[in-house]
Amino acid sequence: MSDSAQPLRDLAPQHAFFIGIDSDGCAFDTMELKHKECFAPNTIKHWGLQPVSKYARDAALFVNLYSKWRGINRWPALVMVLDLLRERDEVIRRGVTIPQADSLRAFIAQEKYPHSDSGLRAYMAEHPGDPDLERGLAWTTAINDAVADMVVGVSPFPFVRESLIDMQNKADMIVVSATPNRALEQEWNEHGIAQYMRMIAGQEYGSKTVCLGAAAAGRYDPDKILMIGDAPGDMKAAKANGALFYPVNPGDEERSWERFYNEAMGRFFDCAYAGEYEAALIREFETYLPDTPPWKRGAAG
């Protein structure tokens, strides 16, 4: 099996503390721009969803921005969007056939290749001529091109840079993201903050759980490993590796980073973060992201 995370395992610790930081929607205010202007339009275009574009956009934004699945890898997010559309009454009444994308589901289910563009290409080499996979490659390539063209000049949230500067000589820091490295490197270098990170680890390196485990698990004391993120998947990656989690609350990111800079960061380096303090932050975070789409909540009400 290919070990895409080996470069993370090769990182030798330089400090006693380790911090993983998500990018989109966490360090940078890019989530809404990317999903509203790059992901959703290309999902509608490449998956033949024009006849139900309004509902396709609803589903795409719910999954990727406004639900507990916020921030998940683009491939499982895509099939979740298709599944939500397939069962929505308005779509059914229009008689629109929503792609099943069985071959992409098989790609997601396999573990030989990472859920990335390069992983898809490698998988396609073993399954040549598959129309779903070819459509998927065209879709993800169009998204990447749109992001490169559209997402320019979006600064990190206030207190991100200040936090990185303060932490650079205290912790080994890496970017842990489901975004392709091409976009991550552009954004972190554009704003001069890549210099504070040991590595930028995007989707090509594996899932967030894999990346955090490869870089930190077993190499630092558990109470000295922290994942900063804006999505439940970030928290799941932290907990799967016995690490701590600091939530950046969606829609309240500036206050979250200000609290981190003024309060939580100091508690982490004083080893006073775990326990009730972290638990209270997580309880607050979990109130921000529902698991039921608004159109289903309306029907239930």
DSSP letter for each residue of 233-300: HHHHHHHHTT-EEEE--TT-HHHHHHHIIIIIHHHHHTT--TTHHHHHHHHHHHTS--SS-HHHHHHH
What would the mean pLDDT of 293-297 be, rounded to a whole number? Answer: 90
Residue 223: pLDDT band with limits 50, 70, 90: very high
pLDDT at 2: 53
Q: How distant, in Å, are the alpha carbons of 122, 205, 224, 276 from that of 118?
A: 6, 10, 33, 41
What would the mean pLDDT of 178-198 be, rounded to a whole number? Answer: 93
Q: What are the residues whose beta carbons fall under 8 Å from the beta carbon of 175, sequence distance 6 or more? A: 20, 21, 22, 23, 27, 184, 188, 197, 199, 200, 201, 202
Give the integer Cα–Cα distance in Å for 142 and 46.
9
pTM over 0.85: no
Residue 158: pLDDT band with limits 50, 70, 90: very high
Name the residue with higher pLDDT: 21 or 183: 21
Residue 203: pLDDT band with limits 50, 70, 90: confident
Residue type, 184: L
Least confident piece of the model among 15-29, 253-267, 286-300: 286-300
pLDDT at 241: 97
Residue 300: pLDDT band with limits 50, 70, 90: very low
Burial track 233-265 (b if 16+ CB lie within 10 A, e otherwise)? bbbbbbeebebbbbbbbbeebeebbebbbeebb
Residue 4: pLDDT band with limits 50, 70, 90: confident
- The answer to whether residue 1 scores a pLDDT higher than 50 is no
pLDDT at 298: 64
Q: What are the residues whose beta carbons fall under 8 Å from the beta carbon of 149, sequence distance 6 or more? A: none
CA angle 61, 208, 198 (to 5 degrees): 120
Domains and CATH numbers, the chain: 6-30+157-286 (3.40.50.1000), 31-150 (no CATH)
pLDDT at 67: 92
- The answer to whether residue 211 scores a pLDDT higher than 80 is yes
What would the mean pLDDT of 97-102 be, rounded to a whole number? Answer: 96
Question: Encoding tokens for residue 37?
Answer: 């202007």
Name the residue with higher pLDDT: 4 or 88: 88
pLDDT at 178: 87
Give the integer Cα–Cα distance in Å for 162 and 157.
10
pLDDT at 274: 97
Helices (H) and strands (E) in the chain, counts: 17, 5
The mean of the pLDDT values for the chain is 94
Burial track 123-147 (b if 16+ CB lie within 10 A, e otherwise)? bbeeeeebebbebbbebbebbbebb
